[in-house]
Amino acid sequence: MSKAVPLALGSTIGILGGGQLGRMLALAAARLGFKSHVYSDDPDSPAFEVTSRATHGGYGDLPHLETFAQQVDVVTYEFENVPVEAARHLAGLVPVRPGARALEVAQDRLVEKQFLADLGIPVAPFAEVSHRRDLVAALTRFDAPSILKTRRLGYDGKGQVALTPDADAGAAVAALGHRAAILEQRLRFAFEVSVLVVRGLDGAVAIYDCPTNSHEGGILRRSVVPAALPPSAVASAQDLAKRIAVALDYVGVLAVEMFYMGDGALPALVVNEIAPRVHNSGHWTTDACGCGQFENHIRAVAGWPLGSTARHSDAEMLNLIGDEVDRWAELAAEPGLCLHLYGKREARTGRKMGHFTRLKPRASGA
């Protein structure tokens, strides 16, 4: 655990990645009196529009990163595919929070599953697939529908192939470009939830209420709080997330995605994956909590006290994907709706262009 030395007002938060999460982190930093410096390999990054300073450069360009490090007081990131080597190099120059270990675990699905299993955390049965013969053996062992995923990269449903026990192993491996992969058994679950846990530089932990998440085409469509989880499952979910954050010596917001297996099931929860960053399923916290996930992430990486994660309202968050953003005028006119648009120029199919949150009074006992 690091000694908490809070950054002074006016310090600069370095953010690796310039997408919508980087944009919202920069806005949260400004709200707390910090400056931000966004580093991205995309010259059209939406975060560039709201940051104090912007640098366009490659994540493997070490001299460029060194210049960036000289201009910031701490570095964080908005996506989990920042090269581990870049994070480690920066850590020799400036504090990097969360640390490179979190990236190392989250970037490789096999390493991630093994890390979780070693902690005694329930995960779906899995097997390493380096060759066709590995897949043939694993399909026989699972004897159930499964999903083959690339170990690295791939998100929002990309880099995945659904399989049955009698599937053509050669075709499946070829479909993923013969890349290193992991086979995971498909589970029958009631619904998906996530836990957003934030851990401070001093080891303090705060946790947001669990949302229920629904996906379409591998992309998160909707998050709703409160989730229809029994109190015992809520406590278990939060405990699992906290254990992961502590094991990683994590600083900042960590998202842990889980399957709720249903009432009476053992285990009741199975962890699917972790995301070492602020997360789409936590967007509702900006509008339904006194201190949302973006502000709390900035507080954590700056060594400040964490803000309250208490929820003052029930909430439903929906993503605006592709040309759905064209509904902006209709949505902006809806009373009580909180609209967030990302400033992206092109509304491509499957691209997250914004989100909105509908709030309602918190239900009694929820």
Per-residue pLDDT tens digits for 197-206: 999 999 999 9
Residue 188 has pLDDT above 50, yes or no: yes
Q: Where are the domains of the chain?
A: 12-106, 125-185, 191-361
Residue 75 has pLDDT above 80, yes or no: yes
CA 224 – CA 21 distance, rounded (Å)? 19
CA-based torsion, 38, 42, 45, 50: positive or negative: positive
Residue 154 has pLDDT above 70, yes or no: no
Give the pLDDT confidence score for residue 157 in this predicted structure: 56
Mean predicted confidence (pLDDT) in 13-23: 98
Give the pLDDT confidence score for residue 2 in this predicted structure: 45
Residue 150 has pLDDT above 70, yes or no: yes
Give the pLDDT confidence score for residue 341 in this predicted structure: 98
| Domain spanning 12-106, CATH class | alpha beta
Residue 131 has pLDDT above 90, yes or no: no
- Could you tell me which of 1, 2, 56, 46 has the C-alpha nearest to residue 25? 46
Q: Give me the CATH topology for the region 125-185.
A: Dna Ligase; domain 1 (3.30.1490)
Residue 109 has pLDDT above 50, yes or no: yes
Sheet containing 74-77, strands listed edge to edge, beginning at the edge strand earlier in sequence: 53-56, 35-40, 12-16, 74-77
Give the pLDDT confidence score for residue 3 in this predicted structure: 58
CB 283 within 8 A of CB 353: no
Residue 143 has pLDDT above 90, yes or no: no
CA 311 – CA 327 distance, rounded (Å)? 28
CA 9 – CA 47 distance, rounded (Å)? 21
CA 48 – CA 253 distance, rounded (Å)? 22
Mean predicted confidence (pLDDT) in 32-43: 97
Mean predicted confidence (pLDDT) in 144-154: 84
Residue 207 has pLDDT above 60, yes or no: yes
Give the pLDDT confidence score for residue 172 in this predicted structure: 79
Residue 153 has pLDDT above 90, yes or no: no
Mean predicted confidence (pLDDT) in 68-82: 96
Greater confidence, 170 or 40?
Answer: 40
- 155-178 residue pLDDT tens: 555 678 888 777 777 887 888 878
| Average pLDDT score over the chain | 93
Mean predicted confidence (pLDDT) in 248-260: 98
Residue 5 has pLDDT above 90, yes or no: no
CA 362 – CA 366 distance, rounded (Å)? 7
CB 284 within 8 A of CB 223: yes
β-strand pairing of 191-199 with 252-260: antiparallel
pLDDT over 90 percentage in the chain:
82
Mean predicted confidence (pLDDT) in 53-59: 97
CA 364 – CA 65 distance, rounded (Å)? 50
- Could you tell me which of 206, 361, 213 has the C-alpha nearest to residue 283? 213
Residue 136 has pLDDT above 90, yes or no: no
**Could you tell me which CATH number the domain at 191-361 has?**
3.30.470.20
Question: Residue 1's pLDDT band (boundaries 50, 70, 90)?
Answer: very low
